[in-house]
Amino acid sequence: MTSENEWDGVALREISPEWARRVIFLPECGSTNDEARRLAIKGAPGLSVVLTEKQTAGRGRRGQPWTCPPGEGLAFSLILRPQEPMALWSRFALATGLAMAEALDSFGLFAGVKWPNDVWVAGKKICGVLVEADAGFVVVGVGLNVNVVEFPNGLAHPATSLALELGEKVSREEVLVSCLQRLLLRLDQIGAGFGDLMEEWSTRCVLAGNDVRLDAGGVLKTGRVEGLSSQGELLLRTEEGLEKVLQASEIRML
C-alpha cells in the first residue's frame, strides 16, 4: 500500500505467494466484512483477504460505526472456513485480538487485550475486531489505527495509533504483513492449542484486577475482573461470588 493508495502485495509475497493472490483490494467499500461475506457465499477460499482504502459504513461490535481517514489506517477482513465445530468459533475473537496485539510488538509497542476483542496501548484503543459467523464460514474483520493523528469527538473510549505512540508514521503494508503472520498462528489455536493461546492472552489482559461494569444479556453486573477461564470466559468477582461471563455487549472500567 503506497501513498498513492495503490496495492501491489509485494510484502505479502514474502509470507507466501498465495497471500498476494488472495488479497482483494477495493479502493472503497461500505464494509470489508460485508464484502467478505458476499465473496464467501460465492465460494471464495479460506484465508482470502478483503482490504480497502476507505470504508463508508465500517462498524464495530453492537453495530457501532468504525471510522478511519483514508490512507491512515488498516481495514481488512479475513475469510475463514474452519474445520473446528461451530461451538468453538467464538474463540476467533480472542485469537484475533491477541494476534493484533502481538503484531504491534515488532514496531516497539506493547499492546494489551481488552476482553473479548479490543486491543489497547497505554490505556487507549488502537484496534477493534469484529467476528461474524455464517453457515460454513467465518469473517474476521480488523480496524487498526496506523497513521491516524486526529480522532473525532464523542468516542466511547480514548483512541490512539501507532503514529501517535511512536512519534512517526509507519508503513501500513508492513503492519498488515505483521498482522497476517500472527493471525496465521493464532487462528489455528482455537481447538487443541487454545490453552497455549489463553496463557499468552492472560499476560496481556488489561481488565485483570480492575473493577468493571458490564452488560451481560441485558443484565448489568459490577465486579472485579480476576482474569479469564481456560475456556475464554471472563472471571468476574461480584458480591454474589465468582461468575463466569461468556458474552457481554459493553464493558467499562470503573
* Predicted local confidence at residue 6, as pLDDT: 40
| pLDDT exceeds cutoff 80 at 57 | no
10-30 per-position pLDDT tens digit? 455 555 555 556 788 888 999
Per-domain residue ranges for the chain?
10-203, 211-253
pLDDT tens for 150-189 read: 887 767 678 999 999 999 999 998 899 899 989 989 999 9
For domain 10-203, give the CATH superfamily. Bira Bifunctional Protein; Domain 2 (3.30.930.10)
The strand pair at 211-216 and 250-253 is best described as antiparallel
Fold of 211-253: SH3 type barrels. (2.30.30)
Q: Which residues contact 253 (CB under 8 A, 6 or more apart)?
A: 207, 210, 211, 212
Q: Of 56, 95, 46, 73, whose CA–CA distance to 160 is shortest?
A: 73
Average predicted confidence (pLDDT) for the chain: 87
Residues 6+ apart with CB under 8 A from 247: 90, 116, 216, 217
| Grid cell listed for 141 | 474483520
Q: How far apart are the first and last CA of the chain?
A: 40
Q: Give 204-222 pLDDT, tens digit per residue.
A: 999 999 999 999 888 999 9
Q: What is the grid cell recorded at 36?
A: 467478505
Q: What does the pLDDT read at residue 227?
A: 93
CA nearest to 125, candidates 254, 251, 221: 251
